[in-house]
Structures are given as C-alpha cells and as structure tokens.
Structure 1
Amino acid sequence: MTNFIPIFPLGAVAYPGEQLNLHIFEPRFKQLVAECVAEGKLFGIPAVVDKNIMEYGTLVKVEKVEKLYDNGEMDVITRGDSVFRVLELIHQIPEKLYSGAIVSYPANNMTANNKLLDEVIHGIRELHSILQVHKAFKKPDSELTSYDLAHHAGLSLSEEYEMLHLFYEVQRLEYLKRHLHKVIPMMAEMERLKERVKLNGHFRNLSAGDL
C-alpha cells in the first residue's frame, strides 16, 4: 500500500509502539499537528541524520494534547504506529506550511526468539548497572520487543536508524545483542579505569605477599 502523509522530520528515531512527547512550536508543525488532531489523521516522522531526511521513518498518532499555549504552541503525546519508506518527498503542498511524502509500508515480522530476547534484556540491565542508570521497563519482560529496548541500549542516532529498517524481529534483536557485546566490555573497562584514577594520591595498604 502507498499513500500520502504529512511529515515532521526530526533528528531522532521513533519506533512503532513508542511514546514520543513533542513540544510543537514552529508554525508549519503547529498547522500539521492541529490538522491531525482535528481530523484524526496520522503523520510521519522521517529520521534526519547528518542534516539529511532519510528514507525510512515511523507513522505516529497524536494520543493527547497535553497543553495548548496561547500562541498556538502545543505539548503533545504521540505513539508510534508503523514504519514507512519514503518514495517521494513533496516539498510544497497548496495552502500548507508543512511538507509531505508518498510512502509505502514494508512488511514487518514481529516474531521473536525468547532466548535471544532474554539475552538482550540481560545485556541492557548489565549495561545500566555498569553506568549506574536506573530505568524500568513499562512492560513485563516477556512482552518487550526490540522497539521497546532500542532506546535503552545506548545506540547512536545512526545505529538507531539502521535498526529502524530491519524488518524481522530476530534481526533487530541480533543487532542489539551485537551492539551490547561490543559496548559492555568497553564500559566495564572505563569503570575500572575510573576506579584506578580515584586511587591516585590515596594511602593504600599494599602487600607483595610472601615474596
């Protein structure tokens, strides 16, 4: 299926199912969001990486206008719906300030591997422990998906975007697993280095044993 959607390019990656809170202040996006709220329409958030609008993004729905300011600015709560692929950007739309795009919706296989999911969840908790970050997931472990976990894994923007256009859940979990296997040893070594630096200048009770 292909269709036209209004777009709100952002220097961030939104995922299906994710709650994204936005402060809307630019005139073009105030118009876009006001129309979507009034007409019950969804809009697209294509990722912007290195100042370029990328090929893939996520369709989102406005769940709630949290606050409407006197000048038309808004605080809105949105929820990711599905991943789209941009086929054509439409930069100018008659009587509209915002841009749009013709998009398609790639098939997305959400079948997970429970063992792999458990490994990724364990890896993220290990990473958080090393970094002394305390974050709780909003679902039971068995209900979590790669999309729920991605923003907790310390991915860069380009890595988050790379994961966005993987269309099998097992692929996405493998991607997160490889990332965690790479960064956890690095972070653990940094923590050990920090502890060694803290020891510098302190009196230490050292022994060479029986030598």
Structure 2
Amino acid sequence: MNDIQTYPIFPLNVFAFPGEEFGLHIFEERYKHLVNDVMESHQMFGMPYVLNGETQDRGCLLHIEEVKNRKSNGEMDIVVKVVELVNFLTRSSSPSKLYMEGNVELLHFKNTKPGPRLVLLFHRFMLMREEGEEPQPIVDEDIFELAARLKIPANQKFSFIDDQLPEHFERNLTNFLTLQIQIEAMTQEMGSRFVLN
C-alpha cells in the first residue's frame, strides 16, 4: 500500500463502496470552492467518514459524475461516484484554500469477486426480500456491487472495512447476510402465525 496522493477532502457522515453513486447538495462556501477546483482540475476528492461527530481515518475517493441545479449563489447539487476506498494519513489546511486537503492511501483489494457461499446467501436473501421474485444478477461479479445492493446503513458498511482486506470484508458480508436471512425467516414465520391466529 504505497499509492499515496494528496486530494481535497470533504468529511461527511456518508460511507459508500466503490461503484456506488449518490447526490450531494453543496451550499457551504468552502465546499463550493472544492467542487469548482476539482472540476477545473479534473481530479477526485476524498470523503473521510464522520461517525458520531468524529472524522475517521477511513473513507472513500469520489469522482464528480454530474452537476445539477447550479444556482447564482454557487449552490449546486452534484452526483458523485465512489472510485476507491482509502485511508486518510494526514489532513491539513492551506492558507490559499478554504477547504482541507489530505494525503490518501488507497486500500487495495486484489480480488473483488465474491465467493460462491456469499453469492448463494445474497441470492437467497434477495429472493426472501423480494418475495420470490428472481433478483437481478450481479453484473460484474463484483463484491462491492453485491454489497451496494444490500442497502446496508453507512455505519455498518464502515465497520466491514478493516486492515485485513479483502478476506475480512467477505467474511463480514457473509455474517451480515446470514443474520439478515435468519431475521427475515423469523419475521415471515411470525407473520404467518399471526395471520393463522
């Protein structure tokens, strides 16, 4: 892990996996400047995850996909896409910029193809959740695409990422799905009992 680069940073209580897209409303002056600078330089920016008011050392690297609804006061809505998961090694401010910058280290996943057990659990869970409808296939056979389709809360996603990548990530997702399947089965069983009574 030696790919260290410097990026503008935008701490936020959002954590997402590579390939996920989401919208941001940009209204603070410093982040208006950040977005404009990033678009001008065609680079990316980092988003350290904020958990319970504290900025964490982990987060993601984002690419701006689209700018929408730019207002005369500089406010805008943007759509961003997660490119990589990263560690933020340093954070610092510069007198010439309103926003902070940070040295970022990429978190490397040598293999992002989900194992057969995880795919099986995913398929089973999606069948249960979508009431028997066949789930859409995982297009790129990518573990992050699978994880994104589970709609896991940000704080739980964040807890899945540790220093043992990718092995622990797959294990954490497998454990999560196993638990969700048990909960879904119990919920369905309780529902049928309630109707029968």
TM-score if structure 1 supplies the norm length?
0.78
1:11 partner amino acid = N
> SS of 1:143's equivalent?
coil
Matches within 5 A, 1:145-164: 145-164=142-161
Residue 182 (structure 1) aligned with residue 179 (structure 2): yes
CA offsets 1:9-46 (integer angstroms, 9 cap, x no match): 12121222222222212222111111111111210011
User: Which residue of the partner structure matches residue 66 of structure 1?
Assistant: 68
1:183 partner amino acid = Q
1:116 offset after TM fit, Å? 3.2
2:15–2:155: 8 Å Cα contact kept in structure 1? Answer: no
Cα distance change of structure 1 residues 102 and 85 upon mapping to structure 2, 3 Å threshold: same
Distance 2:24 2:64 in 1: 10
CA offsets 1:25-78 (integer angstroms, 9 cap, x no match): 222211111111111121001111111111111111112212212221111121
1:149 offset after TM fit, Å? 2.2
Distance 2:101 2:134 in 1: 36
1:195 offset after TM fit, Å? 4.4
Q: Which runs of 4+ in 1 moved over 3 A?
A: 134-137, 164-171, 194-200
Residue 100 (structure 1) aligned with residue 97 (structure 2): no
2:95 partner amino acid = P
1:88–1:103: 8 Å Cα contact kept in structure 2? Answer: yes
Cα distance change of structure 1 residues 50 and 67 upon mapping to structure 2, 3 Å threshold: same
User: Which residue of the partner structure matches residue 52 of structure 2?
Assistant: 50
Distance 2:170 2:127 in 1: 16
1:46–1:53: 8 Å Cα contact kept in structure 2? Answer: yes
1:46–1:56: 8 Å Cα contact kept in structure 2? Answer: yes
User: Which residue of the partner structure matches residue 87 of structure 1?
Assistant: 89
Give the CA RMSD over aligned residues.
Answer: 2.7
1:110–1:168: 8 Å Cα contact kept in structure 2? Answer: no
Distance 1:114 1:177 in 2: 10
1:112–1:170: 8 Å Cα contact kept in structure 2? Answer: no
Q: Specify the structure having the higher radius of gyration (Cα).
A: 1
Distance 2:11 2:188 in 1: 37
Q: For this pair of structures, how many residues does the alignment match? A: 195
TM-score if structure 2 supplies the norm length?
0.83
User: Which residue of the partner structure matches residue 78 of structure 2?
Assistant: 76
1:102 partner amino acid = N
Structure 1, unpaired ranges of 5+? 201-211
